[in-house]
């Protein structure tokens, strides 16, 4: 948690001023019982009305000044904690932007999102509490004890019994109940899991008439969650009754022994009242301390989750910032004995792939799920680093490119069609922020998207909702293709990006891309043999091995795996052929 | 929400607490007792102080019984406070459970159209979060409100009976504390709303940019994303400082009001003491009250906002509970165990939405053992047929008959068990492979399960899993491949030995070898059984006895492969673009 103090640096003034003013307010609060004691012992005893009024005014004044101090402190706390959160969020976002795919996979995007939102909020709350309460509560406990000691140290010994007792009760109850809250949360998660399963599997459940048993399953899980909640509730319900009992017994003791002291002339009546007040103050402050412990336990868990992200080192970085010069007459892309293994995986996702792709060529990559198709193309923009071998673009090893220069050469159409909230135009300007409407329309034409975009009432200004919810799967895919085409990339990568298109649109799209100027190198990843059939080269992948490289006709002759795929999707030759 | 609606909602929640009325009554009684006893303590302390005057004037004889009483009252107050919390917990947790179960059970009974049309996240949110906030706001909040109000009332009673004039001073200052609390609550509420709007915006942005980080990298969008992020983040900072500052004013301000009350009591009390109408001990009791007096006001103003959220949640929860359930099966509904495989679709019309008629006057007679293929472009509504056959939805007009009996006269459970259904959208629940296969027949023996798995070509991969049939599948089978999931679904359907089949062939994303296994398993399953297949494979289509061609939710052509090709219609076009590639 200490690591996080550096984010507070910018707000060091608030971080120091806040608690200082809070302390002042606490001091005033401690003085009030003393003033009251004076009113009783001097004012009432001497029947001095003026003295009473003067002391009363002092009390109100103390309150006013205290209020001022508290306001300053709260303001500092608000600024420092919100500022802290803002800085942490911003740095975390920047850090995530620097991470490469490997690290993102390692933590997982949903978890990254909760960490940058919920966990940072938790830390922010802890900082606010740090400034507002961390100094105040313990100070009140200690201060009240010291004041009591100053009034009469012998009677104050009662504090040294009651205080630790209250602390012990707090410790015992909280150490027994707090860990259970996580268990309750887990049981609640189970309830939502069952609910989710029942909604997504409603057809299967009803097909097998399992509703009754599902109800029983949910009831059982609910009962389980309920009984844990009740059990924990029984423990934490003890907290307030036990602590207030201790304090009230201590008050009885103060009255008895205080009575003896007053009788002997060691103390006054007003001082006994002040003692009682201090005891009550201690009780309140101790309960605040207990709540702080809970907040900080939560915060430290959040702090760990945030630091875990911040400590991840991006595995792929720029080796040099200076742009590199392409070597003329070299192949556009060259895979030289490339192998790749995902971290923590035992098997190679790609083994010993060698491939030469010329400028302007169209390459098809085909194979079943998990055969390494996406992995292969992810190595070109250096999303992952090859484990062995090397990849060259324009004759230069991809590791020697500044990342920006390398990636700007490539127009990427990912498997999952992702669009961002905002206007359609803004989505189209991702590769090139200065793309003109004309350029956008040309790209939309090629991607077979112009027709439906034209039919949208606002055209390029149409608003796309988060995740592109207001578009169909096929529309989204065509827009992501158009987005990649803008700014004329040297290399276009289509990662199984036509799966939601019907076959006629798919064919038209391929024709349109083929007719673009011959400079662009195109890589098409697909599961459909017909999508890659007319490529200059087809790479057939199976379990990370390139089991065939060649044209459609060559592969149909020689490659068993390609035949299998092709004939499962196309009409078989009438005379016998392969059995299904 | 008007007041009438509110009290109505509140009454409904109370009806859910009815079974726990005993606990509720005990909680209320304990609350009254615990608060009155706790508030009696300052009186006793004051009386004790009055026995301690000055040297030589301390009356231990009177002090001892007072202190004894003090201790007993303190213990009793604590006891009743404990009981109160226990009883409220009981009521709250049990009511929460009952509400959750009620909503969940309703979801098992509503027509599928409701579940299809609602966001699942929203329904789950209602079952989990909304019911939690009902519990926090209405049940816990209600107990706070109740104790708050009686604390105020009893305090006033004690104060006025101790000393009317000084008590009156406190009552006069009371509105001040109410005013301050409501002023702050109103202002901070607005700030909170502004803040949460921006926070939502930021979360949305994070979700997009972090969620699609790989796209961001592919387009070198990092720097632009950072700029946009920083801008929203800056706005959140400004809104956050404001809302946090305003909301954190409550404590210092009420503390100040408290201080004013305290000082007023001190001055007026002390003056009354001088005048002789008041004892120092009584003054100290008064001061103790003054010290705690504004606390319940604070709590009540906090509870009010919680109550509002809780009522909004209650509204959402009851909206689900009030959804009409599916019309139950007729008591004399047929419960066939087996079917010969005759299905007649007789002048059927159907639509999801009255404005968009889908299926109009559709007729089809399926004889035992026939194979019906449904083809058409993605999203053409092939699942509609499955919905009607399985009676997930009821037809609007016409009738579907199985072996001559209209499906509306067959128990839903019995009708559905006649079909074995394997959907492309595979569904696994968190549990062992064995339990997932035996889902349709929980009492299946180990031999039956293995036999089904073998028939579905799933046995070999299951045996290779770390714990074989005992391997726990994660939520939705995340730890096995899509193709393997499909094989398990086939095994699941095979285990129940259905009379007819509904199959949904996968379009893609399955590797060639598993795909071959699935095709084999499908072919074996279909032998001799009436089957309806959403088909993507050429062989399935060509061997079908009847092909239904669907487009935009409607059946536009029907016939055999040959007939349809001769027709030169949509099927012809589809067939050539999909399966037979012409040279470009």
Q: What is the pLDDT of residues A140-187, one digit of tens each?
A: 888 888 989 988 898 999 989 998 998 899 889 888 888 888 888 889
Closest-CA residue of chain B to A241: B78
Domain A329-409+525-571 bears CATH identifier 3.40.50.300: yes
Looking at CATH, the fold of the domain delimited by B3-163+278-321 is given as ABC transporter transmembrane region fold (1.20.1560)
Q: Is B496 on the interface with A (CB under 8 A)?
A: yes
Length of chain B: 584
Tokens of B328: 């139950």
DSSP state of A527: S
Q: Is A439 on the interface with B (CB under 8 A)?
A: no
Contact B266 A255 (CB under 8 A): no
Q: What superfamily in CATH does domain B343-578 come from?
A: P-loop containing nucleotide triphosphate hydrolases (3.40.50.300)
Closest-CA residue of chain B to A108: B211
Q: What is the mean pLDDT of residues A345-359?
A: 85
CATH code 1.20.1560.10 region(s) in chain A? 1-139+300-315
3-state secondary structure (DSSP) of residue B357 = coil
What is the pLDDT, as a whole number, of residue A93? 92
> What span, in angstroms and rounded, lies between the C-alpha atoms of B128 and A354?
53
Tokens of B280: 């120092």
- A67 to chain B nearest CA, in Å? 6
3-state secondary structure (DSSP) of residue A419 = coil
Q: Is B576 on the interface with A (CB under 8 A)?
A: no
Contact B86 A237 (CB under 8 A): yes
Contact A193 B423 (CB under 8 A): no
Q: What DSSP string describes B207-248? A: HHHHHTHHHHHHTT-HHHHHHHHHHHHHHHHHHHHHHHHHHT
> What span, in angstroms and rounded, lies between the C-alpha atoms of A365 and A541?
7
Q: What residues in B contact A48, CB-CB < 8 Å? A: 274
Q: What residues in B contact A43, CB-CB < 8 Å? A: 270, 274
> What span, in angstroms and rounded, lies between the C-alpha atoms of B133 and B313?
7
Q: Is B328 on the interface with A (CB under 8 A)?
A: no
- Structural domain spans, chain B: 3-163+278-321, 343-578
Lowest mean pLDDT segment, chosen from A275-279, A417-421, A493-497, B535-539: B535-539
Which pLDDT tens digits describe chain B residue by residue (584 residues)? 566 677 888 888 889 988 999 999 999 999 999 999 999 999 999 999 999 988 888 899 999 999 999 999 999 999 999 999 999 999 999 999 999 999 999 999 999 888 888 878 888 888 988 898 888 887 678 778 888 888 888 888 888 888 888 888 888 887 777 788 778 877 877 888 888 888 888 888 888 888 788 888 888 888 899 999 999 999 999 999 998 888 888 878 888 888 888 898 889 889 888 888 888 888 888 888 887 777 787 777 777 777 878 888 898 899 999 999 888 888 888 888 888 889 999 999 888 877 777 788 888 899 998 989 888 765 566 778 888 998 989 999 999 999 999 999 999 989 998 998 888 778 888 889 999 999 988 889 999 999 999 888 888 888 888 888 998 887 766 677 777 888 888 899 889 888 898 888 765 555 666 777 777 787 887 888 899 988 776 667 888 899 988 877 678 888 888 888 888 888 887 777 655 543 33
A440 in Cβ contact with A469 (< 8 Å) = no
- B168 to chain A nearest CA, in Å? 18
CATH code 3.40.50.300 region(s) in chain A? 329-409+525-571
What are phi and psi for residue A477, nearest 5 degrees? Answer: -60, -40
> What span, in angstroms and rounded, lies between the C-alpha atoms of A197 and A409?
44
A567 in Cβ contact with A574 (< 8 Å) = no
Helix axes B280-321, B164-211, angle to 10 degrees: 40
Contact A276 B390 (CB under 8 A): no
Tokens of A435: 């793309």
DSSP state of B529: S
Q: What residues in A contact B107, CB-CB < 8 Å? A: 195, 198-199
Give the Å distances, CA to CA, from B412 to B13, B154, B533: 33, 61, 21
Give the ranges where A130-210 is alpha helix by DSSP (H): 136-151, 157-200, 202-207
B460 in Cβ contact with B424 (< 8 Å) = no
A75 in Cβ contact with A305 (< 8 Å) = no
- A489 to chain B nearest CA, in Å? 11
Q: Is A248 on the interface with B (CB under 8 A)?
A: yes
Length of chain A: 580
> What span, in angstroms and rounded, lies between the C-alpha atoms of A472 and A419?
12
Q: Is B351 on the interface with A (CB under 8 A)?
A: no
- pLDDT beyond 80 at A280: yes
- B355 to chain A nearest CA, in Å? 20
Residue where the block lists tokens 């906002």: B305
> What span, in angstroms and rounded, lies between the C-alpha atoms of A481 and A503?
16
What is the pLDDT, as a whole number, of residue A500? 66
> What span, in angstroms and rounded, lies between the C-alpha atoms of A123 and A119?
6
- pLDDT beyond 60 at A560: yes
What is the pLDDT, as a whole number, of residue B447? 92
Q: What residues in B contact A70, CB-CB < 8 Å? A: 251-252, 255
Contact A368 B96 (CB under 8 A): no
**Which residues of chain A from 264 to 323 reach within 8 Å of chain B, CB to CB?**
264-265, 268-270, 272-273, 276-277, 280
Helix axes A49-98, A120-129, angle to 10 degrees: 150
Segment of A250-264, A564-578, B373-387, B507-521 carrying the highest mean pLDDT:
A250-264
Question: What is the interface size between A and B, counted as CB pairs within 8 Å?
Answer: 423
A233 in Cβ contact with A209 (< 8 Å) = no
> What span, in angstroms and rounded, lies between the C-alpha atoms of B239 and B235?
6
> What span, in angstroms and rounded, lies between the C-alpha atoms of A9 and A14?
10
DSSP bridge pairs for B504: B534
* Nearest neighbour of B508 by CB, restricted to A60, A467, A499: A499
B111 in Cβ contact with B258 (< 8 Å) = no
* Nearest neighbour of B244 by CB, restricted to A66, A81, A408: A81
Q: Is B127 on the interface with A (CB under 8 A)?
A: yes
Q: What DSSP string describes A219-249? A: HHHHHHHHHHHHHHHHHHTTHHHHHHHHHHH
What are phi and psi for residue B500, nearest 5 degrees? Answer: -130, 165
Q: Is A364 on the interface with B (CB under 8 A)?
A: no
* Nearest neighbour of B213 by CB, restricted to A96, A132, A407: A96
Domain A1-139+300-315 -> CATH class: mainly alpha
Q: What residues in B contact A381, CB-CB < 8 Å? A: 217-218
Tokens of A569: 């999707």
DSSP bridge pairs for B350: B359
- pLDDT beyond 90 at A47: no
> What span, in angstroms and rounded, lies between the C-alpha atoms of B288 and A429?
68
- pLDDT beyond 90 at A441: yes
What are phi and psi for residue B369, nearest 5 degrees? Answer: 85, -5
What is the pLDDT, as a whole number, of residue A330? 86
DSSP state of A361: -
Q: Is A210 on the interface with B (CB under 8 A)?
A: yes
**Which residues of chain A from 406 to 435 reach within 8 Å of chain B, CB to CB?**
407-408, 410, 412, 414, 418, 420-421, 430-431, 433
> What span, in angstroms and rounded, lies between the C-alpha atoms of A158 and A145?
10
For A294-339, how does the pLDDT look when each residue is reduced to its tens digit (9 = 90+)?
788 888 888 988 998 999 888 888 777 788 888 888 889 999 999 9
Q: Is B214 on the interface with A (CB under 8 A)?
A: yes
Residue where the block lists tokens 């007040």: A277
Tokens of B264: 């007023």
Half-sphere exposure of B244 (CA within 13 A, CB side): 25
What is the pLDDT, as a whole number, of residue B22? 94
Contact A204 B427 (CB under 8 A): yes
**Which residues of chain A from 532 to 571 reach within 8 Å of chain B, CB to CB?**
533-534, 561, 564-565, 568-571
């Amino acid at each position: 948690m200490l690591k996080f103090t550096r984010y507070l640096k910018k707000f060091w003034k608030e971080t120091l001023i806040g608690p200082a003013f809070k302390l002042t307010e606490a001091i005033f609060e401690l003085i009030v019982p003393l003033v009251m004691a004076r009113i009783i012992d001097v004012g009432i005893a001497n029947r001095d009305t003026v003295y009473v009024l003067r002391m009363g005014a002092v009390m109100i004044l103390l309150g006013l000044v205290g209020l001022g101090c508290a306001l300053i402190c709260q303001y500092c706390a608000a600024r420092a904690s919100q500022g802290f959160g803002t800085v942490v969020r911003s740095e975390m976002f920047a850090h995530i932007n620097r991470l490469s795919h490997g690290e993102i996979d390692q933590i997982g995007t949903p978890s990254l999102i909760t960490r940058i939102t919920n966990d940072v909020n938790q830390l922010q709350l802890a900082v606010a509490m740090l400034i507002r309460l961390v100094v105040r509560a313990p100070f009140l406990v200690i201060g009240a004890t010291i004041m009591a000691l100053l009034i009469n140290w012998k009677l104050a010994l009662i504090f040294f019994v009651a205080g630790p007792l209250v602390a012990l009760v707090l410790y015992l109850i909280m150490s027994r109940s707090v860990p259970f809250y996580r268990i309750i949360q887990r049981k609640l998660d189970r309830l939502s899991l069952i609910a989710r399963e029942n909604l997504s599997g409603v057809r299967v459940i009803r097909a097998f008439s399992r509703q009754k048993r599902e109800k029983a399953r949910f009831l059982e899980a609910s009962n389980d969650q309920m009984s844990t909640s009740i059990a924990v509730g029984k423990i934490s319900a003890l907290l307030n009754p036990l602590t207030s009992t201790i304090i009230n017994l201590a008050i009885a003791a103060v009255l008895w022994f205080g009575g003896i002291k007053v009788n002997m002339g060691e103390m006054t009546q007003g001082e006994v009242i002040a003692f009682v007040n201090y005891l009550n103050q201690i009780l309140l402050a101790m309960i605040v301390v207990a709540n702080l412990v809970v907040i900080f336990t939560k915060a430290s868990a959040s702090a760990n989750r945030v630091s875990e992200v911040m400590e991840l080192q991006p595995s792929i970085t720029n080796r040099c910032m200076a742009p590199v010069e392409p070597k003329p007459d070299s192949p556009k892309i060259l895979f030289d004995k490339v192998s790749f293994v995902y971290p923590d995986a035992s098997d190679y996702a790609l083994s010993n792939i060698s491939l030469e792709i010329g400028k302007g060529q169209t390459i098809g990559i085909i194979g079943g799920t998990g055969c390494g198709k996406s992995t292969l193309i992810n190595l070109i923009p250096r999303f992952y680093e090859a484990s062995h071998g090397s990849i060259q673009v324009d004759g230069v090893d991809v590791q020697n490119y500044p990342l920006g220069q390398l990636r700007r050469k490539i127009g990427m159409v990912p498997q999952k069609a992702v669009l961002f909230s905002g206007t359609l135009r803004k989505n189209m300007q991702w590769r090139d922020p200065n793309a003109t409407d004309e350029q956008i329309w040309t790209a939309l034409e090629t991607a077979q998207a112009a027709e439906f975009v034209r039919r949208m009432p606002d055209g390029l200004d149409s608003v796309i909702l988060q995740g592109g919810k207001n578009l169909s799967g096929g529309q989204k895919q065509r827009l992501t293709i158009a987005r990649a085409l803008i700014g004329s990339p040297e290399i276009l990568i289509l990662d199984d990006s036509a799966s939601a298109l019907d076959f006629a649109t798919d064919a038209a799209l391929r024709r349109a891309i083929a007719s673009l100027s011959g400079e662009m190198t195109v890589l098409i990843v697909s599961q459909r043999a017909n999508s890659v059939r007319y490529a200059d080269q087809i790479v057939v992948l199976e379990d990370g091995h390139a089991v065939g490289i060649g044209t459609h006709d060559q592969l149909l002759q020689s490659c068993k795996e390609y035949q299998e795929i092709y004939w499962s999707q196309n009409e078989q030759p009438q005379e016998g052929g392969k059995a299904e | 929400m008007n007041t009438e609606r509110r009290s109505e909602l509140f009454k409904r929640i109370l009806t859910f607490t009815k079974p726990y009325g005993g606990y509720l009554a005990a909680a209320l009684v304990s609350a009254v007792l615990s608060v009155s006893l706790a508030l009696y303590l300052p009186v006793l302390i004051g009386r004790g102080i009055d026995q301690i005057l000055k040297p030589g004037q301390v009356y231990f004889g009177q002090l001892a019984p007072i202190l004894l009483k003090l201790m007993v009252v303190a213990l009793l107050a604590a006891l009743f406070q404990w009981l109160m919390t226990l009883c409220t917990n009981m009521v709250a947790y049990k009511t929460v459970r009952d509400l959750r179960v009620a909503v969940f059970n309703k979801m098992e009974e509503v027509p599928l159209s409701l579940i299809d049309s609602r966001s699942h996240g929203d329904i789950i949110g209602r079952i989990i979060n909304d019911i939690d906030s009902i519990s926090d706001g209405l049940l816990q909040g209600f107990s706070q409100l109740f104790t708050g109000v009686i604390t105020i009332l009893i305090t006033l009673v004690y104060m006025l009976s101790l000393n009317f004039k000084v008590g009156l001073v406190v009552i006069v200052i009371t509105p001040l504390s109410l005013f301050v609390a409501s002023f702050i609550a109103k202002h901070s509420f607005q700030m909170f709303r502004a803040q949460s709007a921006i926070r939502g915006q930021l979360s949305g942005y994070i979700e997009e940019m972090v969620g699609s980080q790989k796209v961001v990298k592919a387009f070198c969008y990092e720097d632009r994303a950072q700029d946009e992020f920083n801008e929203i983040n800056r706005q959140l900072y400004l809104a956050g400082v404001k809302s946090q500052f305003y909301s954190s004013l409550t404590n210092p301000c009420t503390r100040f009001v408290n201080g004013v009350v305290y000082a007023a009591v001190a001055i007026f009390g002390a003056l009354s003491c001088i005048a002789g109408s008041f004892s120092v001990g009584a003054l100290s009791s008064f001061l103790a009250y003054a010290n705690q007096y504004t606390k319940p006001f604070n709590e009540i103003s906090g509870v009010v906002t919680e109550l509002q959220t809780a009522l909004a949640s209650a509204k959402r929860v009851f909206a689900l509970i009030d959804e009409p359930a599916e019309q139950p099966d007729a008591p004399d509904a047929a419960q066939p165990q087996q079917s010969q495989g005759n299905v007649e679709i007789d002048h059927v019309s159907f639509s999801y939405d009255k404005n968009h008629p889908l299926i109009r006057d559709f007729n089809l007679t399926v004889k035992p053992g026939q194979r019906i293929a449904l083809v058409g472009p993605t999203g053409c509504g092939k699942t509609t047929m499955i919905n009607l056959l399985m009676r997930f939805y009821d037809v609007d007009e016409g009738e579907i008959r199985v072996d001559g009996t209209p499906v509306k006269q067959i128990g839903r459970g019995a009708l559905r068990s006649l079909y074995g259904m394997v959907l492309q959208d595979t569904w696994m629940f968190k549990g062992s492979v064995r339990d997932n296969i035996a889902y349709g027949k929980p009492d299946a023996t180990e031999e039956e399960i293995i036999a089904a798995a073998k028939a579905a070509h799933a046995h070999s991969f299951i045996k290779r899993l770390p714990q074989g049939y005992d391997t726990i599948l994660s939520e939705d089978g995340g730890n096995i491949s899509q193709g393997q999931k499909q094989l398990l679904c086939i095994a699941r359907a095979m285990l129940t030995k259905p009379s007819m089949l509904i199959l949904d062939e996968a379009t893609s994303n399955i590797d060639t070898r598993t795909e071959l296994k699935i095709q084999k398993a499908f072919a074996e399953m279909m032998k001799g059984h009436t089957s309806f297949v959403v088909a993507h494979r050429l062989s399935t289509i060509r061997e079908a006895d009847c092909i239904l061609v669907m487009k935009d939710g409607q059946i536009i052509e029907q016939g055999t492969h040959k007939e349809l090709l001769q027709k030169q219609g949509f099927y012809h076009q589809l067939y050539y673009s999909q399966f037979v590639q012409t040279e470009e």
